[in-house]
Chains A and B, each alone.
Chain A
Amino acid sequence: ETPAEAQVLSEHEGILVIVEQRLGQARSVSWQLLGQGRRLADKLGTKLMALVLGYRVEPVAREAIAYGADVAYLWDDPVLERYRTRPYSEAAVHVIRAEKPEIVLVGATYTGRDLAGAVATRLETGLTADCTLLDVEPPPTRLLQASRPAFSEKLMATILCKKRRPQMASARPGVFEALPPDPNRSGRVVRVGSTLREEDVAARVLDFIQDPDRVNLEDATVIVAGGRGVGGPQGFQLLRQLAQVLGGEVGASRPAVEAGWIDRAHQVGQTGQTVRPKLYIACGISGAVQHLVGMEGSQVIVAVNREPDAPIFRVADYRIVGDLHQVVPALIAEARRRLGP
């Protein structure tokens, strides 16, 4: 460690979470990261900061306090109304340079990854991608231990950034747990901002076309998921009915997506979404590791499969061996009977 490096290390303190929002609606991964950030900040005995970028997003900054931040930096500017890499990364770099956090966390969403790569490069610092475990070494080293799955989830690797600050990491949605929001938590909202000018931004968002098959697996409390065993699009209609009665969403394995039975947005697993609902019902899914990594954090797992030794049963709380075309209708009928149509 050179004296210059030592100075950089000692100047930086605290954990900053970049909150992602669109049109004033925060993404749940931001609150999950504030939850994990809180745990890490307490372990280091330091403060937890949130950075909220957008236009007319003061309520989001207040929410960030409720979800665990001690300070929420609010950069409210019409130029930031819609996400564009240049003004967002400029603003984030500006605040990080001024506030000097030792750790910066970003959700590994499309937007979060787009932003994190730009910001880390401008700050010339290390960025660990797509983490599923985040811990810190206790003082004096205070190192962020950012761990991520590698090689098709066959290996986990811990990545460290020893000599530069901040240590940056993007983290997967659905992996960490948010704290229950407390509207009475005390914390400061600090307005920041300076010279963003629309003339300096070349990018224009012309349109946003919402996907009609849009699905919010990340926030779903119940997911009914189907695999190759579902047999076709009609089978997924059945799963949709069950999901509907239970107030949940439909998930899928990759082969079901690749067969075109259901849209890619529903895919759970390594190359799909990571989910942690209260209830996950896996129907006709064998339980390959690439699927399991996406759903094993679910609170209760029910598996329906006609092979008694299907690997999915090893992670299931409730096993139903049988043909899903018999079991799922029975579940729908039973759910209707108990919960109403």
Chain B
Amino acid sequence: MRKVYTRLERIAGSVVAVAAGDATYRELAQLDWPGGTSLAQVVRLEGGRAYLQVFAGTRGLPTDARVRFLGRPMRVAASDAVLGRVFDGAGRPRDHGPVLDEDPVDLAGPSVNPVKRIIPRHMVRTGIPMIDVFNTLVESQKLPIFSVPGEPYHELLARLALQAEVDVIVLGGLGLKHDDYLYFRDTLEAAGALARTVAFIHTAADPTVECLLVPDLALAVAERFALAGKRVLVLLSDMTNFADALKEVAITMEQIPSNRGYPGDLYSQLAARYEKAVDFDGAGSITILAVTTMPGDDVTHPVPDNTGYITEGQLYLRGGRIEPFGSLSRLKQLVNGHTRDDHRPVMNAMIQLYAAYRETLEKRSMGFRMSEWDERLLRYGLGFEARLMNLEIDLPLERALDAGWALLAECFEPAQTGLPTALIERFWPQGPA
């Protein structure tokens, strides 16, 4: 039986110090006081004191709270029973269901041996043409969705949760508005997709420290499923809140800030989470899509900047659409050569034509006269936005490619597309032009 401590020597922000000589680093402790209870984790040991990060925050915490060390690090239940459940940032049920403690796994486990990874080679089909056709998502890929508040990134995540062809969806909410949480829950429930989903939701009203735990909870569960051979898609939103929580905690711990107040280890902290994305040699895979809102729409802000160095490309969500320029899936070359023969050429041709359309728009706004070619481009651009870029569209890759050919045929002569003749003969829609 371990000793119980009843004297907190320091309370600052979410961190308390207790004179406990027998605590071990990163160990979990239970705090009890008349007004509440919380878990806490050892974040520093010094001079006979253990510094504890209190998950529930320290508001109303008396200095004589009871501190009991549990002798184990933070864990999360990861059996099949978690599917269909919703938990909070401390791993407690948020859905009034039973508390789970089967098959617990430690949070933030060791990293995967690089020689046990394989070169990714499986596409993740999402039914969203801007992803499947133009920025193909690949199993084990980690991709941020760079956006700004107000954009429909939660709608996008919900659609990915419903449509992505994977075995398990793990949803991690960081600093979500309560409404957004209800939106996710209701959308998934209505579509009957909850059964393959497990969600860890931290809302803006919850203690900051719990926000830090969400990615670890989500990824620990994802890892367990991936090792069991499942293809897992982890959806996180919003990782900027995670970085801000890190900043908050680091400042209270009196760490020296490096860039705009963020701690010097921001890169390592983000990488430790994103690098959990993996395609195991001989088991399943973890793919991560994470919304990262850019403060001031500035991609050089430390959070999107550090994220960009870690992830394998990025999707920009602007004006309610996935931006075709700037968005990039670095791994798409690994898979889009094996889908359908016309995939790569159609992808390139359609993007080039869309770029030409944007130039034409600029010309038009400057008052230049529109040529016949410009008119074609204008028709094409509008069609492209309505039929492929629209986030409401749900088409399998092949039908999206067919839709692309149909649009090209409506707007252009075959030779104007710059596509190889052989492909045009095979795929150009026949019939009344």
Same assembly:
no
Which residue numbers of A lie inside 8 Å of B, CB to CB? none
